[in-house]
Amino acid sequence: MSDFDYRILDDIIHSRVRLAIMSYLMTARSEDFTALKKQLNLTDGNLSTHLSKLEITGYVVLEKQFIGKKPQTTVKLSAEGEKAFGDYLHKLTAMIGNPS
């Protein structure tokens, strides 16, 4: 496929919200659901929808626990997610040229 074939871009990562989530996790590695929601300026529903898509694909892992009586969800970038993001960046750069 040529560099300009849109199919080379992983649509699971490329959607704007999921790209923001994955980009953030590439730096933070893991984050509490509520903090992630604030950082990315998302609603509960929006973040949950996109996280479940990333989780089904294996790119993130959601860990749920109780802190006292309060449920807490931590979102972690998986090794598979990290690799997929690296591949995605490589193909994106091949398409758009090196933006630096």
Chain residues binding its own copies by CB under 8 A are 1-2, 4-7, 9, 11, 14, 16-17, 19-20, 23-24, 26-27, 39-42, 89-90, 92-93, 95-100
| Of 48, 49, 42, 78, nearest in space to 61 by CA | 78
Nearer to its own copies, 65 or 100 (CB): 100
Least Å distance between CB 61 and its own copies?
Answer: 20
Q: Which residues contact 71 (CB under 8 A, 6 or more apart)?
A: 64, 65
Least Å distance between CB 69 and its own copies?
Answer: 31
Q: What angle do CA 61, 76, 10 make, to 5 degrees?
A: 75
Nearer to its own copies, 66 or 76 (CB): 76
Least Å distance between CB 39 and its own copies?
Answer: 6
Least Å distance between CB 68 and its own copies?
Answer: 29
Nearer to its own copies, 43 or 65 (CB): 43
